[in-house]
Structures are given as structure tokens and as C-alpha cells.
Chain A
Amino acid sequence: MERLDRKLGLLSSLPMIVILLIAFLAPVVVVALFSIMPPKVFSLANTPDFSSYSVFFSQGYYKSLLWSLGMAFASTVILLVICWPLAYGMAKVFGRFTLVLTIAIVMSLFVSENIRLFGWVLTLMKGGLIEGHLRTWTGMSFDSPLYGVPVIVFGLVYVYLPFMLFPLAQGIAMVPDDARQAAADLGATRWQVFTQIDIPLAAPGIVVGSLLSFVLAAGAVAESKILGGQAVIAIADDVETAFTFGQNWPLGSALSMILICIIGGLALFGVSRIDLDAIMGRKR
């Protein structure tokens, strides 16, 4: 039985592995190779130099990276705060309402990110859903909050909310009620229960949720383009520009590699620390 399991395990993983090899690993290797080519070449048959990486510092691309990471960090922290009560409700309080919430949130995910962000532009712009109605009904008016850093963070929070919420709810569901009850019986305050029971026991969910939203937000483009009006340039936007308008594949590749290394490092660190079997509900 065990030997058969081993053979079947390998065999049935093959379709997935083939796809990942030819359409994920190979392209990343190509990016890595292009990143050490001299500027503005379109083939790999050149003598490597590392000039594209030095451009990263000399032409201020590191600023975009810092902006992206900073905004990703801010949105992750905000998401943790606003998702926790809801995740707690979904895991422990709501009952049937949890299903309604889950369906509503998952369905919103199927709407293209573009359309949803565009909807926020229509909602928040001057003469938009909120300001337009406010002005007609009350005569009050306000400046559009669009085109700035806060609204980009707002967009990131909006788009990546499900990616924080679901892992968090899963994590909180793993906290046994007995442990909380016992702590309370022994005289722990609410705050003590929260910091010493809830947070440590829900840690896998917190880690997965924070990691997912941080990593996805760090590589996001659409929020800064559609909502931010390019008040700041996201690093993924720089990558795109280098490839399209700049026609400089090596520069784009070098910027990609830097982003890939940061995100990949975080992702590997995160996934090596969690037990997927436990989170996804192994019964054995």
C-alpha cells in the first residue's frame, strides 16, 4: 500500500509539475538571465553585466520599492484591525450568517479588480455618487479624496480584504472555546485572553492572512494607477513601464528580480512555518 501510494503520489502530481516547470519556473529563469544583460537588448546572447541593478539605486527606483512596501505594510496592519472582529464573528458568533457573508465576499472576488476600483472612482470623485448627492441634497461639498497615497492604501485594503479575512477566520476557528473559558475562569481579563490565548492559538491564520495580503499588495499596480492617479509609482508599475514604454527588458527584469526576491523570501519563510495539513482540515 505504501509503495503504491508513493508511486501514485508522484504520478498524479506530474500534470501540475509540468505546468509549473514550463510556465512558471522557466519564465522566472529567463527574467533572471535578462536582468544581468546590458541595457536595452532583446536577446540573451550578450555578455552579462550588472548595470541594470546599479540603475535601481542611481535613478531612484528604490523609492518606488519603498513606497510599495510601505503601502503594503500599512494596508496589512489596517486589514488585521478591521478583519479581526469580523473573522471572530464568522468563526464563533454568526452561525448561518457566516455562510451568507462568505458567499457575498467570494462573489465580489469574481468581479474584475478593474471594475471594482473604477466603481470607487465613480463613488468618490467630484460629482460622484457621494459628493454629487451630498451637494444636491445639502449643499455641502468636499474635495475628492482621489489621487493620493491614502486612497491607494484604501484601495489595497478594499481589494485584499478577503485574503486577510478568510485565513484569519480559519485561524480563530482553531482557538478552542475551552481554553478561552478556562482563562476567563482563572481571572484573566478580556485583554489577557486576547493577547495570551487568541493571538498565539490563531497565529497560523494571522501569518497566512498577513503574508497573503502583504505580498499581493506589494506587487499591486491597479490601485495606484486607477485610484492614485500615479501620485506615487508602485514598483510593479515601474516594471511594466520599463518593458512597455521604456523598451528596456533588462531593466524591467532587474526590477522584477528585486521584487521577486523580497516577495519570494517572505513567502518561503511563511509557508515553511505553517502546517498546511492542519489548516486545510486533515481529519486523520
Chain B
Amino acid sequence: MPANKSTRIALFIYGLFIIVFLYLPLVSVGFASISRARYLSFPIKQYSTKWYTTALESSTVKDLLLTSLSIAVIVTLISVVIAFFGALSFARYQWRYRTLFQKLILLPIFFPQTVLGLALLMWFNALGIIPSWKTAVVAHLVWIAPIATLIVAIRAYSFDPSLEEAARDMGADTGTILREITLPLLMPGLVSAGLFAFLLSWGNFPLSLFTTGADSTLPEWLYAKMVSGYSPLVPTLGIMSVVGSFMIIMIALAISWLLRANRESRAASN
């Protein structure tokens, strides 16, 4: 029952409307970030980039960016490793507790993040660990590693296990198979899982709030300023963070596009 033309057009417009709906608040933040006035009101009378200069020169901002970046990079690296093995257990190997494992992984994703952050704070306290950005890495992992696993698992579902079996029949041991067969096949999944892990960690607020101790990440700082007195740097840093994420996505998309084009041209010349 293919949809008729007017339904198609209506749905298409609806889709565009949803995109506008999703990005409208960012448009407001964008305008606010280039407003000259200390106290914002629309329509903006004078534009200026002075808040960007202020932000780039501030040492607080450098610390915030460094903390957020360190957490995100470490979380990404560990998540990808966990997700590689986790996805094989999730989708590929037929073992006894597989369905249980699948369901266990979903629990942290459903769990309210604020409560998880507080629970971890109490747990670190009971263990005598003083929270810092390193404990925030652990907190992020609990939520991000399962998501990364799901992303790699989608890829793992679609590959043919007979490729591994063939390698085994020819005498390859498990390590060789993982390195030579499984890893290259899962690579696209691992790359997108890494991308997700980085960006989700970069933007995460509720888990960081209670687990970073004296350190502070960018989203935490933004939140603190939002609830306790406005700072004109809030929209500026918000936009810088958003632009940073989007640039990473664009670079990743460009690289994957180049790789594909390269492979296709090589295949064509053969």
C-alpha cells in the first residue's frame, strides 16, 4: 500500500518541522553567544564576538576543556575494547547465559543517571576513594560501554560466522582469528561506537555532576552558571562545545567517505 503523493509531501514537511523543532533552541543559543549585551534580550541589537575572545583567553575554560577531553578520550578507548568483546558475547557466540547477558547490558541504560551518579559517589566513599575526574571515567563507562556494545553488536549480527570457522579449519588459533578476521569485519561498528562513546561522554552531565569531585567538566560548569546567575559565557561555551562535537562528526564522516571512495576506485581499477 504505497503512500499517495499528498501523504508523502505531508510526511516530508512534518520531518523537516521536527528537525527545526530539535535545532530551534540551538539557534537561540547561537544568537545569544554573539550578542554584545551582558544581559540578553531579543531581538539582539549589537553583535560582537567579544565573548568568544574572553572564553578563549580564560584559564578556567582551558581547565574545563582539558578535564572534559581527558575523560572523553579515556572513556572512548576503554569502551571500544569492552564493546568489541562484549558484542561478540552479545551477538556472535552461542553460550549459555547469552540472553541473560543481553538483558543485563540494558539495565544501566535504563537506570536514572542522577541516581547512578549518587550511588557511585557513596560507593567510592565506602571504598575510601576521593572522587576526581578519574572516578568520573568509571561512572561514564557504566553507561557508555553498554551503548557502545549495542552499536558493535548490530555489526556483529550481520557477519557470517562461517568465515571464522573456515579460518579455524585452516589451523588459525583463536587469537589469530580475532585479529585477522573478526577485528577487520567489526571495524566500522567499532569506529561508530568510538564516536558515540566520545560524544556522549563529552556531553554528559548527570553522571559527572556527583563523580568528578573537585574537578569540573564543561557541562557541569554550564549547569552551575545556568541555575546560579547568568553568565554571558554560557551560550558562548555551549556553542563552542556543540561546534566541536559537530566538527568531529564531520571529520569522521569525511574519513569514512574517503576510505570508501578509495576502496571503490581501487576495486574498479583491478
Whether the pair B25, A281 counts as a contact (CB closer than 8 A) is no
Are A280 and B153 interface neighbours, CB within 8 A? Answer: yes
Tell me if B138 and A23 are in contact (CB < 8 A).
Answer: yes
Residues of B contacting A259 with CB < 8 Å?
Answer: 112, 115
Q: Are A114 and B219 in contact (CB under 8 A)?
A: yes
* Partner of A20 from B94, B104, B174, B238 at Cβ < 8 Å: B104
Cα–Cα distance between A12 and B31 once the two chains are bound (Å): 49
Q: In the complex, what residues of B have CB within 8 A of residue A111's CB?
A: 26, 203, 241-242, 245
- A15-B81, A31-B122, A93-B3 in contact; A20/B154 too (CB < 8 A)? no
Q: Which of B88, B95, B108, B200 has the most CB of A within 10 A?
A: B95
Instruction: Report the minimal beta-carbon distance from A199 to chain B, rounded to whole angstroms.
Output: 16
Q: Is the CB of B119 within 8 A of A129?
A: no
Contacts of B226 in A (CB 8 A): 114, 118, 226
A-side contacts of B199, CB under 8 Å: 110
Do A26 and B112 touch across chains, with their CB atoms under 8 A apart? no
Which residues of B lie under 8 Å from residue A136 when comparing CB positions?
Answer: 43
In the complex the two chains form, what is the Cα distance from A91 to B43 in whole Å?
40
Question: How many pairs of A and B residues are in contact by the CB < 8 Å rule?
Answer: 296
Complex alpha-carbon distance, A282 and B99, angstroms = 14
The CA of A45 and the CA of B19, in the complex, are separated in Å by 53
A128-B28 in contact given A20-B108, A221-B114 (Cβ < 8 Å): yes
- Inter-subunit contact A16/B105 (CB<8 Å): yes
Tell which of A110, A114, A282 touches B157, judged by Cβ atoms closer than 8 Å: A282
The chain B residue sitting closest to A163, CB to CB, is B109
Binary interface encoding of chain B residues 38-68 relative to chain A, with 1 for a CB under 8 A from any of its CBs, else 0: 0011110000000000000000000000000
Contact of B205 among A13, A27, A211, A222 (CB under 8 A): A222
Instruction: Please tell me if A144 contacts chain B, counting CB pairs below 8 Å.
Output: no
* B204 close to chain A: CB less than 8 A: yes
A1, A181, A236, A263: which contacts B1 (Cβ < 8 A)?
A181
Q: How long is the Cα–Cα vector from A26 to B23 in the complex, in angstroms?
A: 39
B257 contacts chain A at the CB level, 8 A cutoff: no
Q: Among A27, A221, A226, which residue has the most Cβ atoms of chain B within 10 A?
A: A27
Pick from A12, A184, A271: contact of B89, CB below 8 A: A12
Say whether B107 contacts A24, CB under 8 Å.
yes
A101 adjacent to B19 (CB under 8 Å) = yes
A253 to B101, CA, bound (A): 27
**Chain B positions within 8 Å of A253 at CB level:** 122
Inter-subunit contact A215/B205 (CB<8 Å): no
**Which of A15, A34, A211, A260 contacts B115 (CB under 8 A)?**
A260
Chain A, residues 161-185, CB within 8 Å of chain B (1/0): the string is 1000000000000000100110010
Asked whether A30 and B126 contact (CB < 8 A) given A2-B94, A110-B249, A240-B118, the answer is yes
In the complex the two chains form, is A85's CB within 8 Å of B11's CB?
A: yes
Q: Does B267 contact A (CB under 8 A)?
A: no
Per-position 1/0 for B184-209, Cβ under 8 A of A: 00000000000000011011111000
- Is B23 in contact with A108, judged by CB distance below 8 angstroms? yes
A-B pairs, top 4 by smallest CB distance, nearest first, are A219-B112, A119-B25, A9-B95, A132-B42
